Amino acid sequence: MVYYSTIVNGSLEKVWKQLLLKIEHPENFVPGVSNVNIFEKNPDFVLRQMTVTSAENSTILKEKITFIPYKIRFLLLEHPTMEGYVDNDCKYISENETELTFTINWKDKVELTEINNQELVKNAVLKTKQFIENNNETTT
């Protein structure tokens, strides 16, 4: 498990609304995302498939996303090499500051070893922070 936290200049309510937006529009938050398809959406969870392209390869993955204030969990249902989940948490600091933490708990399916990529989680948090701070609208 690897995690990274930062302070976002924005209210807890704004950060939470933007994190909810990430469920249907991950391309604003995650580099290399395309072909996002929502298969099911209800008050308890969302089933999503998307393609993530990096310099090395292109991967199609399916996720079950659950959300309760102020945590979103992205559980991998189908991925060629990994299993596990990512948590996005936000916590009140002050009226205009919110702590944002991403925790990645991925394992290699074959070797069952933890995927421990600190740079990946840091970049994901900082990209999300930048998007939230630059987006004045809080539409979901």
Report pLDDT digits (tens) over 57-110: 899 999 999 999 999 999 999 999 999 999 999 999 999 999 999 999 999 999
Q: What is the pLDDT of residue 19?
A: 95
**Torsion sign, CA atoms 118, 34, 113, 88:** positive
Q: What is the pLDDT of residue 120?
A: 85
* Tens digit of each residue's pLDDT (9 = 90 or more) over 10-61: 999 999 999 999 999 999 888 889 999 999 999 999 999 999 998 888 999 9
Task: Name the H helices within the chain.
Answer: 12-24, 118-134
Please report which confidence band the pLDDT of residue 140 belongs to, taking 50, 70 and 90 as the band edges.
very low
pLDDT for 139 beyond 50 = no
Q: Give all domains of the chain, ordered by start, each with its CATH number.
A: 2-134 (3.30.530.20)
Q: What is the pLDDT of residue 115?
A: 85
